[in-house]
Structure 1
Amino acid sequence: MMAISLRLPSSTKPAARRPAFDRPHLGDILAPIARAAAANSALVVTLALLAALCGLQALALLRAPAAWLPAAITVKLAQGETVALGRHELAAPQADRDHLSLRRDAQDGWTVRNLSATRQVVLLRDGGDQRLGSTPLAAGQRFQIDGALFDVRAADSGSIAFARDGHEWRYDGAVLYRDGHQQANCPESHLASKVLSLWNRAMPAVLTISRPLSFGGNLHCDNRLGLAQVTPGAALISRGNGGLQLTAGNPDGDRAAVLVHGAGSQIDLRKQEASLAGVKAIVVGHTRFQLETDGGQLTLHPSRHVSMFSAPDLKLPEHVSWQWQQRALWAGGQSGAIWAGIAISLACMAVALALAARRPLSASRVAMLLAAGGVLICGVVALISQRAGYAPSAACSMALAACALMLWLALPGRLTLVTAAGVVLLAAGLLSQLELGLGAPESSWLRYYQKSAAMLAIGAGLGGLLRLWAQHQAARGAHLQQRSIEWLLALFAAVALAALAAQVLWGDEQGVFDLQPVELAKLALTALTAHCLALRFNWHAGPHTLSEHGTRWLQLIAPALLFLALLGLSLVQVDDFSPLILLLIWSTVVAFSYALAARNRKLAGALIAMALTAAGAIVYLRCTGTDDLIRWGFYADRFLVWLNPAEHPHTGQQLLLGARAIADGGWLGADHWLGLRSLGLAAGGAVQIPAVQDDFAASFFLNRHGLVGGLLLWAAQAAFLAGLALTAARAYQSGASARDFRHAWSGRFRYFALCGGGAFVLGHFLLSWGTNLAIFPIMGQPMSFLSAGGSHLLFFLCPLLAFSAISAQSSEGE
């Protein structure tokens, strides 16, 4: 019986094993894939859209026509000869027609003179920079502006004292004093100018904000030294190159002579000639040239802002010759190292996904950690290479951006509407920037796309590391203490305030050190406000003594400091009212989210009424015209241009060109194929719109892809905002149902932070679309995801995407 029982299984084994050796059918393979696709339909749709947009970028690169630019410009002169060079000969699109004069003297030395009345020529030496038309002043010298002669009594790197007609003048780089007293404000001075004047007078020299001293006009006021019969701005003294420099201004009308007398010589700054001995590079109209001299031959190697041509054929003067090179889109810079990093990162992502399917979560997290770190390193290398003048190729930047977007989707966790819409918007924005870079007749336009790709990689890498760290902490059950969170928020606020101060002290409206600290300040303001509002909901459960309540009040009003700092920066540093409108939109949305959370119907109704009133005011201004706008002073010009741009063709050029580009685009784009036929080809007249890569990026997008493409973009933007609102609502419900203070505070904090971040994004959308479609007066704010705003992408959008993903995961975990 035992033998029989053993034989029976052996006889049935071949029949049982036969299916394992059968040839698999196509249906057996497709069925699991179909089930996986049905279970992850949102991911499949997102991947399909991402693949389509990245494919369009690759197609644009493939279809881009050959473009040629000079690799070297050679000038050959005999001794004593002179040649004038300008926009045509130097391939410098932002130079004047005759911009500079080169001369070879009898000793085989080369000298240069600036011929332009409005644009500078900068000589770069190892010891510093020299702007032609400017010079430092020293004690004992005399300088003359037209017929007015001044004696320099004392001068150093920080201040200068001079005299004329019995009056003593002193200027410290920020404030002008006449006979020891600061001058009164000019009659037309705006509030920002008056506040800045008070600041400079009260603060020590190291904290003052640089303001130039202007010569000309008939009135002594503020930092203006009036001179009869001299055009305002005929000469300037300002900080620069480590000290105070006298510069020949660019006044409208007749050009006044600016002379410097000293040591038996006389220099006419408007005709200043400088030797090229020791000069390493020269900047002409934003185009930089590396110099090489060899006797009678001078070679200039142009970089940045170089004109491109469809064929290597151009008629040049007899003394000038070019060495041509073709634009490289597939190789260049540090592309090799970045390509290797991209391949390693993608391999790590694939390994992480494969391990996650088999459930060894720790190994999967390590592989994904390596992938995020690889993307981060590639982004840093790409950004540094671009800053050093060796930008990676456009194809390499495209692959880097695609890898960064894939990282967002590959990170563990459920795909949310915010992440899906954000990835699609980022890919669409990169496509638009690439089209603009390929279609512009200048080499520097691609740098916007390359910078955005590098910033996206850095932001995605940092965001990925943060998400993985948050998941690791949640798996361990470890949480930051409340006091530690408050210290981190305080440190964040301090860094943001320091960055804003750096922009005020050393930067301008465009930022400081090629960054926009205001984006970091907006993020800090959102986080700090969310923390304080989350604490406000638990106010009555806290301390009851007066001193402890005072401490808590300080915590709750802390965001006011950042808000006032941003408000002050808007008034002082930015000659525009768009930051004020942006802060107003943010304040309204945050207050409305608080009203909803507190179930305060009166406050919610008042905010809705205020929003409707603002919309009615815009319609009223459109209908009533411009009769009463003159008395508005500071903002009158912008409203006048907005209401009647045809009557202000110069100041309304941006609005008129944008409207023309949108009209040319129509419903299906300028090519009538939603931009598919014009991929990679010339951008046409839309590239002439001022700030088309930033404030008017939407005008270029509508010109290229038509109103149908604009409607699709609006749908994606609406999905992104809706996703933020849904994630915020889940966070609030999680906090409302929590049974302990930490979970309750966490839910409320995530709710208010997401509402605040969404408010800023909504403000950017509204202001940018309103500007491009002439709904609002021109206001300079980039459109989130679409414009080439590297700081906005790195310091605000990427952190917001990472925080929304972490918040969604926390809501599910709780």
Structure 2
Amino acid sequence: MRATAPLRTAHPPRPSAAQSLGAMLATVSRAAFRHSGLALTLALLAALAALQALALLRAPAAWLPAEITIQLARGESIVLGQRELAAPQTDRQHLALRRDGGGRWTIRNLSGARQVVLLRDGGDQRLGSAPLHELRRFQIDGAMFALRSADARAATFTRDGHAWRYDGAVLYRDGVQQADCPDAHLATRALSVWNRVMPLALTIARPLSFGGNLYCDNRLGLAQVTPGAAQIARINGRLQLLAGNPDGDRAAVLVTDGAGQTDLRTQEASLDGVSALMIGHTRLQITIDGDQLRLRPSRHVKLFSDPDQRLPEQVRWTWQQRTLWHGDHMDAVWIGLIICAASMSGSVVVRVAANRRHRQTNQVRRPDARKAGTTVARAAASSGAARLASATAASPLAALPAGVAATALLLTGVTALIAQRAGYAPSAAASLLIGATALLMWLALPGRLTLATAAGAVLLAAGLLAQLELGLGAPESSWLRYYQKSAAMLAIGAGLGGMARLWMQHRSARGAHLRQHTIEWLLALFAVVALAALAAQVLWGDETGVFDLQPVELAKLALTALSAHCLALRFHWHSGPQRLADHGARWLRLIAPALLFLALLGLALVQVDDFSPLILLLVWSTGMGLAYAVAARNRVLSTGLTALALLAVVAIAWLRMSGTDDLIRWGFYADRFLVWLNPAEHPHTGQQLLLGARAIGEGGWFGADHWFGLRALGQPAGAAVQIPAVQDDFAASFFLNRHGLLGGLLLWLTQAAFLIGIVLTAAHALRVGAVARNFRHAWQGRFRYFMLCGGGAFVLGHFLLSWGTNLAIFPIMGQPMSFLSAGGSHLLFFLCPLLTLIAISAPSSEGV
């Protein structure tokens, strides 16, 4: 028997280096093709981040005074202004500093239009003002008033046999509130009625004005005295008498107290115990050392191209260079960014591994699926993404890196925002990394990348670039704060949104859902919070907000959520409670959208000086009506709303061509239309429109530098920075000036893609709700549909108003452009929740 040799297994030849490289490139190419949308989005974000870094690299050196030293001998004095203080909001001769024979320093305000505030440990003191409770009498020109009583709540004084009482909001003459002025607008009359019927704690503070020939409302007429020559107002909880008005017309205001008689126009205050003074928006810390007084300016400080400035011999500056790449007390920010980046990388690795195991499992099961039939195979393939998402969300280990990344990003954003408010703002480079990390968070979390999410991320990156260019190009140190604040707000919003997405995925994987009753009470609580925030703005704020926030943005989100809930229930109303008492309780909760709508309408009429909120609410109402018409398949309603929208376009065109003759008779907001139609005839009030048009004209098609703004990165912004509210309402004018009309066209296309993406995601949610087999799934789909339509309508309204204002299509109306303007509240309270909802509502798909 012949022995046989054992069989040898033939090993395939080892591939060469070129073959390995080719296989790797082929794998990368297939992955890039499979995720072409993600690859394109990442490329655009990387390009915009690189442009921000290039702007920082090309920014020229800028210098500002770190300390201003003033040296005076006893008995000497000096006049300081914008040149000596480097404060942009000061006059040429603003302050008079004097050192008396005893060596004490005193200060006097020489400006008739700008206040000077002294900050002491016991409170604030405004130069040119006096607390009423410390006075015995006061005189305005030749009119003498005797004080009967005065405290923090009210003051009573007499003149010519009449007794006047003022409580900070209402002026009473002999115990009777004065009638409204003949020229009072509807908002002023409504405010007067509110103050009359409400308790003192709920009244809206309004100053008492002296001068003029009318006794009406809060005006106390004085013959041959300029209107507003003196005022009494509630400031920091105290009633104070103020000399002069914002226009600079000042009458002699003599006050008599225990120390004698003083003219508030020439009021001189001691600097003993004063820690800082505020001139405009510039804060100057004060340190006194014998014959030297040191001022450390902060916040709004003028920048110089070189450390050389001609100053009086008593004034000396210590220069410092503006820093863009490093900042103080930023260790916590860097640690948070490192943790966030590492956790996002770990999350991506976990998802890739889960994706690979999922594909291997599908390859093993594919023969069995083919045997079972084509229908089963298609069903298995279509549900593969959902099984992968459920498996990833159900595993705590898989969700842990993403949760750590979202938490670290949230804490980093909060730390950066608090540091900025405390005067230790992060550097521009740190803000660049914070913003880039926040944008990557939207893409790194599990879920399908939709058109709306990709376009939103690109718009956010473009907005950050524009804000950085404006901050680097402005001649003040404070303009970078808009960029730093937006980056911090974006990090907070992305962190909260990421945590909400992970929480929703975790609960969905476990099959845990909130009860409908609980959801309704949560929405009602949301409405209460929004109404309370609006009330706080009316009571303690103004049209710019309250406590550096804009509650109206939160109210818009609450209004959209409550309206979406009501409209979603409209299709399954009879599937809810059956008892009459339960229906009554539900009606009480569902009436919240109407209350919020009325509150926003009242705020627009009373608190805001233009009618842009009314137009915004009109656009939102039309969008929600169209969304309901589509969902209910009501062609009559959709046709009617479309006809109304076309009629509005025709009305705007008619106003543009009809002229100003008929508008002169209008009493409400007529000046807005007059400035819009003929800005050259109103050079003062039309300055914003004229400067914006000039900036757009300078930009042309290719930008002011003829290179789409690439050569101007980091360079001075020129005259465009002088446009009022250029960082907010007129941000589009600066963008067109810097990047040209072609750059604006790309921005318009991206904005259109974002709105189209919202519509597509909303349509998917509506289809999901229509085919659902239970009440909860149907309500959820329709709620997301109406919520997305309402949010998209508000964004569309912002786009229309902002572009219309900047391009003179509409009268001047103050609304920021979403994503582009430096609106922290709009970004945090509206855009970030909307992007989170878009990501949650996106159809399931295989992760990266």
Return the offset for 1:139: 7.0
Return the offset for 1:549: 4.3
Return the offset for 1:137: 1.4
Return the offset for 1:2: 14
Structure 1 unaligned spans of 5+: none
The alignment status of 1:162 with 2:196, answered yes or no, reads no
**Relative to structure 1, is the Cα distance of residues 271 and 712 closer, same or farther in structure 2, using a 3 angstrom cutoff?**
same
Q: Which shows bigger deviation, 460-469 or 538-547?
A: 538-547
Return the offset for 1:207: 0.7
**Relative to structure 1, is the Cα distance of residues 106 and 466 closer, same or farther in structure 2, using a 3 angstrom cutoff?**
same
CA distance in 2, matches of 1:446, 1:723: 32
Contact 1:232-1:251 at 8 Å conserved across structures: no
Structure 1 residue aligned with 2:406? 372
Alignment coverage as a number of residue pairs? 808
Structure 1 residue aligned with 2:309? 314
Structure 2 residue aligned with 1:741? 775
Contact 1:530-1:749 at 8 Å conserved across structures: yes
The alignment status of 1:490 with 2:524, answered yes or no, reads yes
Which of 132, 136, 139 in structure 1 is aligned with 2:131?
A: 136
Structure 1 residue aligned with 2:327? 332
Contact 2:98-2:105 at 8 Å conserved across structures: yes
Structure 2 counterparts to residues 695-710 of structure 1, below 5 A: 695-710=729-744
The alignment status of 1:449 with 2:483, answered yes or no, reads yes
The alignment status of 1:652 with 2:647, answered yes or no, reads no
Structure 1 residue aligned with 2:659? 625
SS, match of residue 256 in structure 2: strand
CA distance in 1, matches of 2:345, 2:573: 48
The alignment status of 1:400 with 2:395, answered yes or no, reads no
SS, match of residue 287 in structure 2: strand
Letter in 2 for 1:171: Y
Q: Which shows bigger deviation, 538-547 or 662-671?
A: 538-547
Give deviations 1:243-283, integer Å, cap 9, x for gaps: 11111122757531001112250111111100001100011
Structure 2 counterparts to residues 625-774 of structure 1, below 5 A: 625-774=659-808
CA distance in 2, matches of 1:95, 1:58: 34
Q: Which shows bigger deviation, 409-418 or 550-559?
A: 550-559
Contact 1:523-1:796 at 8 Å conserved across structures: yes
CA distance in 2, matches of 1:385, 1:233: 40
Return the offset for 1:661: 0.3
Return the offset for 1:538: 1.3
**Relative to structure 1, is the Cα distance of residues 357 and 270 closer, same or farther in structure 2, using a 3 angstrom cutoff?**
same
Which of 486, 500, 506 in structure 1 is aligned with 2:540?
A: 506
Contact 2:210-2:231 at 8 Å conserved across structures: yes
Structure 2 residue aligned with 1:42? 37
Structure 2 residue aligned with 1:60? 55
SS, match of residue 494 in structure 2: helix
SS, match of residue 627 in structure 1: coil
Contact 2:137-2:257 at 8 Å conserved across structures: yes
CA distance in 2, matches of 1:18, 1:465: 50
Letter in 2 for 1:463: G
Structure 2 counterparts to residues 478-627 of structure 1, below 5 A: 478-542=512-576, 547-627=581-661
Give deviations 1:704-753, integer Å, cap 9, x for gaps: 00000000000110000001000000001110111110011001100000
Structure 2 residue aligned with 1:296? 291
Q: Which shows bigger deviation, 392-401 or 340-349?
A: 340-349
**Relative to structure 1, is the Cα distance of residues 529 and 810 closer, same or farther in structure 2, using a 3 angstrom cutoff?**
farther
CA distance in 2, matches of 1:810, 1:148: 76
SS, match of residue 639 in structure 1: helix
SS, match of residue 16 in structure 1: coil
Letter in 2 for 1:49: L
CA distance in 2, matches of 1:174, 1:800: 39
**Relative to structure 1, is the Cα distance of residues 749 and 519 closer, same or farther in structure 2, using a 3 angstrom cutoff?**
same
Return the offset for 1:633: 1.2
Contact 1:532-1:555 at 8 Å conserved across structures: no
Runs ≥4 in structure 1, deviation > 6 angstroms?
A: 1-5, 20-23, 810-813
Return the offset for 1:550: 3.7
Structure 1 residue aligned with 2:452? 418
**Relative to structure 1, is the Cα distance of residues 420 and 195 closer, same or farther in structure 2, using a 3 angstrom cutoff?**
same
Return the offset for 1:416: 0.7
Give deviations 1:458-493, integer Å, cap 9, x for gaps: 000000000011111111111111011111111111
Q: Which shows bigger deviation, 242-251 or 109-118?
A: 242-251
CA distance in 1, matches of 2:338, 2:3: 60
CA distance in 1, matches of 2:602, 2:455: 34
CA distance in 2, matches of 1:409, 1:333: 31
Structure 2 residue aligned with 1:213? 208
**Relative to structure 1, is the Cα distance of residues 138 and 53 closer, same or farther in structure 2, using a 3 angstrom cutoff?**
same
Contact 1:140-1:151 at 8 Å conserved across structures: no
Letter in 2 for 1:68: W
CA distance in 2, matches of 1:341, 1:546: 54
Contact 1:139-1:153 at 8 Å conserved across structures: no
The alignment status of 1:778 with 2:773, answered yes or no, reads no
Structure 1 residue aligned with 2:219? 224
Which of 282, 285, 288 in structure 2 is aligned with 1:287?
A: 282
Structure 2 residue aligned with 1:471? 505
Structure 2 residue aligned with 1:787? 821
Letter in 1 for 2:775: F
CA distance in 1, matches of 2:99, 2:586: 73
Identity of aligned residues (%): 72
Return the offset for 1:588: 0.7
After superposition, the CA RMSD in angstroms is 1.7
Return the offset for 1:357: 1.3
CA distance in 2, matches of 1:513, 1:251: 23
Contact 1:140-1:153 at 8 Å conserved across structures: no
**Relative to structure 1, is the Cα distance of residues 251 and 562 closer, same or farther in structure 2, using a 3 angstrom cutoff?**
closer
Contact 1:582-1:764 at 8 Å conserved across structures: yes
Return the offset for 1:356: 1.4
Contact 2:604-2:611 at 8 Å conserved across structures: yes
Contact 2:114-2:246 at 8 Å conserved across structures: no
SS, match of residue 106 in structure 2: strand
TM-score (norm 1): 0.97
Letter in 1 for 2:479: W
Structure 2 residue aligned with 1:235? 230
Q: Which shows bigger deviation, 393-402 or 629-638?
A: 629-638
**Relative to structure 1, is the Cα distance of residues 4 and 156 closer, same or farther in structure 2, using a 3 angstrom cutoff?**
farther
SS, match of residue 222 in structure 1: coil
Structure 1 residue aligned with 2:166? 171
CA distance in 2, matches of 1:185, 1:414: 59
Contact 1:217-1:232 at 8 Å conserved across structures: yes
Structure 2 unaligned spans of 5+: 355-390
Contact 1:63-1:681 at 8 Å conserved across structures: yes
CA distance in 2, matches of 1:636, 1:90: 41
CA distance in 1, matches of 2:534, 2:314: 50
Which of 260, 272, 292 in structure 2 is aligned with 1:265?
A: 260
Give deviations 1:92-120, integer Å, cap 9, x for gaps: 01111111110011121110000000000
Structure 2 residue aligned with 1:27? 22
Letter in 2 for 1:163: T
Letter in 2 for 1:32: T
**Relative to structure 1, is the Cα distance of residues 628 and 180 closer, same or farther in structure 2, using a 3 angstrom cutoff?**
same
SS, match of residue 308 in structure 1: coil
CA distance in 2, matches of 1:571, 1:633: 14
Letter in 1 for 2:680: A
Give deviations 1:613-662, integer Å, cap 9, x for gaps: 11001100111100000121121100000000000000000000000000
TM-score (norm 2): 0.93
Letter in 2 for 1:794: L
Give deviations 1:507-559, integer Å, cap 9, x for gaps: 11110110000000000000000000111111244456655544443344320
CA distance in 2, matches of 1:4, 1:561: 95
Contact 1:213-1:225 at 8 Å conserved across structures: yes
Q: Which shows bigger deviation, 46-55 or 240-249?
A: 240-249
